[in-house]
Structure 1
Amino acid sequence: MHLGPYTLSPAIALAPMAGVTDKPFRQLCKRLGAGLAVSEMTSADPRLWMTRKSLRRMDHLGEPDPVSVQIAGHDPAMLAEAARYNVDHGAQIIDINMGCPAKKVCNVYAGSALLQDEALVGRILTAVCRAVEVPVTLKMRTGWNRENRNGVTVARIAEDCGIQALAVHGRTRADLYNGEAEYATIAAIKAAVALPVLANGDIDAPDKAREVLDRTGADGVMIGRAAQGRPWIFREIGHYFATGQRLPPPGPADVRDILIGHLEALYAFYGEGPGVRIARKHLGWYARDRPENAAFREVVNRAETASAQMQLTRDYFDALAAGVAPVLSAAA
């Protein structure tokens, strides 16, 4: 899949997720096979650009190409300026958020709330595409609600405005993340435009990724929640696309090594205190569906230092690798 001067190989992308797709996680997913990793959404409001959170989100030093930064807002001029600012600070692709269903985003008429106003969609996309020379992409949903699935119309507007690729989540804004994703609208969007399309929603295994590509005709897939605690899903899907064969799942020792590297990156990026706190949700995801996972989470979430958190993590996965029950009470 080609996007401006960049070739996404494989055409498997990490979806932007607030509070999840920070630089350490993006770099990890890229190392494990993601062809593209989109940043957490950054606000188009310039008053927020100098906050500690925004500065971290705009930190792309050492990040492999291409660097894709998602911006969110509702004012065309403000979004255009945000695009220019992020390109000046390392963005090589600008992604516009019209997919987030969160109330706090939609209540300020951003994210998927914008799908209600097709004229405003056109003004925003035109302003941003004219503001920068890098590729501009659009993350969207199939519509505002099931009675107003206007994804095809929005996709045509996007193509006319200069958008170079679409990522489409197979739910409406009203669906949030409930029920099952539907792919018929994604297929209709792909048939209606000449743009590359990434299909998104409920893709959690290599065979599901292949099924979604076959059903939609999309050029690639975008993975969100299924990558939480399982960043190796990208190499699993890439291997399946290339060979038709499934890779064996990583064993506990392999997961331990990936997780230890992830923890070290979080501590280095955020500092020890914030890094320990941010790591807790990731530890819960990595331990999900493993033996004694609830007890492990209870113990590891009480750790206040990086060394304690790291040792508890090593002990837990070492025990799983050895095939013995983790001694969590002693570790606590």
Structure 2
Amino acid sequence: MVKIGNIELPEFPLLLAPMEDVSDPPFRAVCKDNGADLMYTEFISSEGLIRDAIKSRHKLDIFDYEKPIGIQIFGGDEEAMALSAKIVETVQPDLVDINFGCPVKKVVSKGAGAGVLKDLPLMTRLTEAVVKSTSLPVTVKTRLGWDDEHRNIEEVAERLQDVGIKALAIHGRTRTQMYKGEADWSLIAKVKNNPRIQIPIFGNGDIDSAEKAMEYKNRYGVDGIMIGRAAIGYPWIFNEIRHYMQTGTHLPAPTLQQRINVISKHLHKSVQWKGPIVGINEMRRHYANYLKGMPGIKEYRNRLVILKTAEEVDEVLAEIANKYADFEFEKLAIELVNYHEKCPL
């Protein structure tokens, strides 16, 4: 069992990473159905919460079936971070997470996200301000450091543990790497093996298969794994990893009907939460990922992305299910893509 404060998670938990414009309630619902043990919201601006910005407040929506769930905040001002944590506490999540990992310029330039890695005293003060302002467990997600000359994650981990965080998730790249190259988990392992570190350490970066998850678990000794991009269009990865770790065998690829069921649930929750126009529009980027490997997917994707109602989408999905009733998906490698230029954590 892994504990974050008073939150009890299963042995070697699998976490869904906070991803801007992806980790919303509709997406989290299908990931929860498919084995995610702990999930996080999209990151939320502390300044936006204080200004009562509609988009920021909307991201506070969480639901009982998602629990345990953390709400992630970011910012570069101690007072704003402390106040935003108090606002977050009112919707009763299980924990508050601080984003010190987003590498995107518009976030970093404001002295937030991974930008704080250049100023460890500020990072410490921001974290301590949040810890002192809430009774909820506080966790952090960050990177190895700012650049190759400042891979100071061991010092970061010690400082943040000392001011009271209850768990740390580490993406195995520096800020300057963005998403280039291969994630380096060796420093994550050094943090985990540091005798001073007593909190759970979760590894993140490049996990795209059950085999790699098992390999990294055994090689690096982390307490759990956080999965981000690999879950986009493939929420089944959580159950596949868990099954492989428990049995050493692979689950079969999701059937066409299983994929259509997930698309339909994701779609209808998207419409319910975002409204009919935005909900339909924002689902359009997901269809190709869910149906990857199916012959004729381009033709159907072209149809799906122009439809304007959930009912029309359901009709096309039923047509696909009927036409390809005997089709069996093969296991394909999951492609880790930078899905947009915002903040894919």
Superposition TM-score tier, normalisation by shorter sequence: over 0.9
What do the CA deviations read for 1:54-75 (whole angstroms, capped 9, x no partner)? 2321111334322200001011
What do the CA deviations read for 1:67-116 (whole angstroms, capped 9, x no partner)? 20000101111111111110112222000001111122112111111111
State the AA in 2 paired with 1:304.
K
SS in 1 for 2:43: strand
Counterpart of 2:343?
none
2:255 aligned residue (251, 267, 271) = 251
Equivalent residues of 1:99, 1:173 under 8 A apart: yes
State the AA in 2 paired with 1:15.
A
Counterpart of 2:290?
286
**Counterparts in 2 of 1:261-280, with a 5 A limit?**
261-280=265-284
**Counterparts in 2 of 1:67-82, with a 5 A limit?**
67-82=69-84
Counterpart of 1:330?
none
CA distance in 2, matches of 1:228, 1:188: 29
Equivalent residues of 1:43, 1:49 under 8 A apart: no
Counterpart of 2:222?
218
Matched, 1:159 2:132: no
* RMSD of aligned Cα (Å): 1.7
Give 1:317 deviation, angstroms: 4.2
Give 1:313 deviation, angstroms: 2.9
Counterpart of 1:312?
316
Give 1:323 deviation, angstroms: 3.4
What do the CA deviations read for 1:258-307 (whole angstroms, capped 9, x no partner)? 21111111111111111101111121321234322333222211112222
Counterpart of 2:303?
299
State the number of aligned residues: 324
Matched, 1:237 2:241: yes
Equivalent residues of 2:98, 2:141 under 8 A apart: yes
SS in 1 for 2:110: coil
Counterpart of 1:327?
none
In 2 relative to 1, CA 5–162 (structure 1 residues): closer, same or farther, beyond 3 Å?
same
1:39 aligned residue (41, 45, 57) = 41
Q: Which moved more, 1:131-140 or 1:84-93?
A: 84-93
1:188 aligned residue (167, 187, 190) = 190
Normalization by structure 2: what TM-score? 0.90
Equivalent residues of 1:67, 1:90 under 8 A apart: no
Counterpart of 1:329?
none
CA distance in 2, matches of 1:190, 1:150: 14
2:131 aligned residue (129, 132, 140) = 129
Matched, 1:169 2:171: yes
Equivalent residues of 2:256, 2:327 under 8 A apart: no
**Counterparts in 2 of 1:78-97, with a 5 A limit?**
78-97=80-99
Equivalent residues of 1:14, 1:36 under 8 A apart: yes
State the AA in 1 paired with 2:61.
D
Counterpart of 2:9?
8
